[in-house]
Structure 1
Amino acid sequence: MKQILQIPTEEDWDDYKSDLDQKYAYKMFFGKNLTEARLLFEGAVIERTEELRFMPVIPFRYYIFAYCQYLTSTEVLGRWDASDAASCFLRLVESKLSDESDAISPIMNELMPTIEYVAKNQVLFDADVDIYGDFNEIFSEIRRLVQM
């Protein structure tokens, strides 16, 4: 399956009103294109990562690519939260593969270039191994989970 190319509709958000986390994610992301959504990650990457974690499948499969755009842009590098952005992204992918593989497996081919870029550039993201762990080890675990 390829990445979802159109902005998720209200119907794509399923029954988001019955879950507080999904309701907040809807409030933040609904109706935004990838460029608009990418801006949401600036200065609040941990919060946006958590919103992605709890999104219904279709919005998740769309908005994860706003995160990819953010991570591969030059504007993230040198930011005070670049290390958090990189680590949270890798941990989100690892968690989704482990706990909700149906939500993420169909888009792994499209995500893999960003995953590999982040994992191979830990120093670029100023992510101290003692704090964030070794990104290459997380990448190895992601690859292992993909092959399961």
Structure 2
Amino acid sequence: MKKILQIPTEEDWGEYKNDLDQKYAHKMFFGKNLAEARLLFEGAVIERTGELRFMPVIPFQYYIGAYCQYVTSPAVLNNRNASDAASCFLRLVESKLRVDPDSISPLMKELMPAIEYLAKNQVLFDADVDIYGDFNEIFSEIERLEQR
């Protein structure tokens, strides 16, 4: 796996100006390192997840690392949006595996410990199954999609 260690360049963002979602993602994330990007998730995790969903591949592969760090940090549990953070992360991974597997498959080995941690700790994230679904079922679907 080629892990992206450098902040994505303007060139890495490609033709983002032609897509409103990518343009906004660029506005929010461009030039930020992982620590700076991680802070973005604290205030508006649902919105930041949406921006990740539409990013070009290289920025996505870099900034999902910040999201992974955030969602597995003890600090997330003190945030009133902990349940949203965990659910959105799992759903993003599931969606990417389904719709754009080439963008996330190279990262799955690195992401899997976080995915498994979230699945096994749904109660810790105060994520009601009736609202967020069963994280273990999402985990199973992620595993199934990854095997394709």
Same fold (TM over 0.5): yes
Distance in 2 of aligned mates of 1:75 and 1:41: 11
- Deviation at 1:68? 0.6
Letter in 2 for 1:35: A
Contact 1:2 1:110 in 2 (8 A): no
Distance in 1 of aligned mates of 2:94 and 2:124: 21
Contact 1:4 1:61 in 2 (8 A): yes
The aligned counterpart of 1:26 is: 26
RMSD, matched Cα: 0.7
Would you tell me which structure has more helix in proportion to its own residues?
2
The normalised TM-score by structure 2 is 0.98
Contact 1:94 1:141 in 2 (8 A): yes
What's the % identity of the aligned pairs? 81
Question: How many positions carry a matched residue from both structures?
Answer: 148
Contact 1:78 1:125 in 2 (8 A): no
The ranges of structure 1 where at least 4 consecutive aligned residues each deviate by more than 3 angstroms after the TM superposition are none
Distance in 2 of aligned mates of 1:61 and 1:55: 9
Distance in 2 of aligned mates of 1:115 and 1:3: 18
Long gaps (5+) in structure 2: none
The normalised TM-score by structure 1 is 0.98
Letter in 2 for 1:142: I
The aligned counterpart of 1:81 is: 81
Long gaps (5+) in structure 1: none
